[in-house]
Structure 1
Amino acid sequence: MSKRSIRVFSPATVANVVCGFDILGFAVNEPGDELYMELCDEPGVVIASIEGDEGKLPLDPDKNTVSACVKSILRHLGKEDLGVKLKLTKKMPLGSGLGSSSASAVAGIFAINELLGRPLTKHELLPFAMEGEALACGHGHADNVAPALFGGFTLIKSYEPLEVIQLPVPDLYCALLYPHVDVPTRDARQIIRSKVALKDAVVQWGNIAGLVSALYQHDYDLLGRSMKDVIVEPVRSILIPEFDSMKQQALANGALGFGISGSGPTVFSLYRNKEDAEKVLNQLKAFLKEKGIESNIYLSKVNSEGPVVLE
């Protein structure tokens, strides 16, 4: 343990990627979280400060995602006598569908693993990040934490046993628009049907397989044709104002595909070039403003690295 402190960035993520509910996700370069971690002489994990959360996140280390994950790893490694001080800077909106809790969890486990000399591989770190996700939203799924940790596109092949597959990362730009409306994750999950028609399931399986195949073949037309959801989006999109209008505008102006990021309300679209992405983002922001809805916009390439150490 030569280093006593570290500062890391952990990325936001787009879960589901339209057709892959709870099994597909990818990371973006912006927005994300920054975490400063310092080893101290006094035993215990302490959150010294949280910025950018408007006072909404708990400072109690047992109730906060970032610290709970760190404590869990220290228990696992038999290093509970270590002292750890955390300073978290949220550079992304909470409850936006961008994997805010996942970014924090991944920042915590990545930082402590780096300071301890990388005793665990990223695959070994993943269950600890999922624990943090479960603490935050009551459901320990991996479609946000896996891409945040590994970077790029990830496929959750199974949960029991946990098997995550890293998919090829095409040269794509992701446009994100977060409208200032409230869509709680738990509510967004509760409205999803528990049973689906076999014909809808067959369509969905075909789209998921098509999307994965498109990533391997770098077939952008196939990617666009596969980004369709007949099960979850028709229900969840009702919670997002002007969703259908925004989707039509994006697809008419160069978007390969358009959908809900995670449980929303953030929407995302993918593009071959930056110019189309910027044009559509600004167009959609102006369109929502006319409807009386403010929004945040972000534009970045698909993140292929996951969390990184900041100098």
Structure 2
Amino acid sequence: MKEIKIFSPATIANLSCGFDVLGLCLDNIGDEMIIRKSDEKGIRITKIFGADLPLEAEKNVAGVAALAMLNHWQTDFGFDIEIYKNIKAGSGIGSSAASSAGAVFGINELLGRPFETKDLVQFAMQGEKLASGSAHADNVAPALLGGFTLIRSYDPLDIIKINSPSELYATVIHPQIELKTSDARSVLKQNITLKSAIVQWGNVGGLIAGLYTNDYDLIGRSLHDEIVEPLRSVLIPGFDQVKNTAIHNGALGAGISGSGPSIFALSRGKETAENVALAMSKVFDEMKLPYEIHVSQINSNGVKIISHD
């Protein structure tokens, strides 16, 4: 192959109780990327549509991830990357992760798949480090593997993919304000109480158990964040009202998507997820706050190939 066009999906990270270790892959929201082999060595970002982002490879998350990959696989040629951004930067649904994951996935395909997915996650994490100051995997892992992912360990990296219950849908609403991941991280505390930790890891275990057993009620009970949400929610206008409205209208649970400002809800069934979307929308309509809203099944495959040549 000389050229590949891919769909790189949006993701929801943290999922309330799983800060930096849990994420899921969305199905109908994402960026498109075209990656071509070039006679010139190195990585070039040739075009970016839909966002004002740096074209310099060393300053762009896709470029940084791709360069990290090429540091481990020497070639006598290079790659040109076009990025069509449909995920807004700072939206909280994995904009930087989509670019990072898409770049390494596409280049790996053009190289003949020399790297395993775990390797691709590690390369993509370098893009996340540029974006937020932290090389976290809770967005890039589900973007590359699909479904839900649990990062059991970062050192060494140990990722478990968990298939989604078939009727589980996500609703995500993005108020049109930008909240940088680095700013959202700055409000977090470095130390927590043992009491809070016990509540949190109980919910992580409950959520994982609920996913494996298709226990939707257990999934809902486990979508509770004792540690991060109380600190970050004050940065998101109307958060408590949107969350409570989602649950009142049938959602299993709701919380901050990634570092925000997007708010997610999980529901059993598409109809319920769409009703939740309408209810969440009304809150921001009344606040006269512009927003985007999406209803999506869980994407079980991650990055998808659209075409290749």
TM-score (norm 2): 0.96
Q: Partner letter of residue 176 of structure 1?
A: V
Matched, 1:293 2:289: yes
Matched, 1:21 2:19: yes
How far 1:272 moved relative to its partner? 1.0
Q: Partner letter of residue 117 of structure 1?
A: G
Matched, 1:45 2:43: yes
* 2:87 alignment partner in structure 1: 92
* 2:230 alignment partner in structure 1: 234
How far 1:68 moved relative to its partner? 2.0
**Where does structure 2 lack aligned partners over 5 or more consecutive residues?**
none
Match of 1:250 among 224, 246, 250: 246
Superposed counterparts of 1:297-308, under 5 Å: 297-308=293-304
State the alpha-carbon separation in 2 of the partners of residues 113 and 207 from structure 1.
36
State the alpha-carbon separation in 2 of the partners of residues 253 and 192 from structure 1.
30
Contact 1:23–1:143, Cα closer than 8 Å, also in 2: yes
Residue by residue over 1:11-69, the C-alpha shift from the partner in whole angstroms, topping out at 9 and shown as x without a partner, is 1111100001111111101321110011122333211100011x2x1000111111222
* 2:109 alignment partner in structure 1: 114
**Corresponding residue pairs, total:** 306
Superposed counterparts of 1:147-296, under 5 Å: 147-171=142-166, 172-296=168-292
How far 1:72 moved relative to its partner? 2.2
Matched, 1:128 2:123: yes
**Where does structure 1 lack aligned partners over 5 or more consecutive residues?**
none
Superposition RMSD on alpha carbons, in Å? 1.1
State the alpha-carbon separation in 2 of the partners of residues 68 and 183 from structure 1.
22
How far 1:197 moved relative to its partner? 1.4
* 1:10 alignment partner in structure 2: 8
Matched, 1:31 2:29: yes
Match of 1:74 among 70, 78, 81: 70
Q: Partner letter of residue 71 of structure 2?
A: R
Q: Partner letter of residue 263 of structure 1?
A: S
Contact 1:69–1:129, Cα closer than 8 Å, also in 2: yes
How far 1:290 moved relative to its partner? 1.6
State the alpha-carbon separation in 2 of the partners of residues 38 and 280 from structure 1.
41
State the alpha-carbon separation in 2 of the partners of residues 185 and 74 from structure 1.
27
How far 1:166 moved relative to its partner? 1.0
Q: Partner letter of residue 29 of structure 1?
A: D
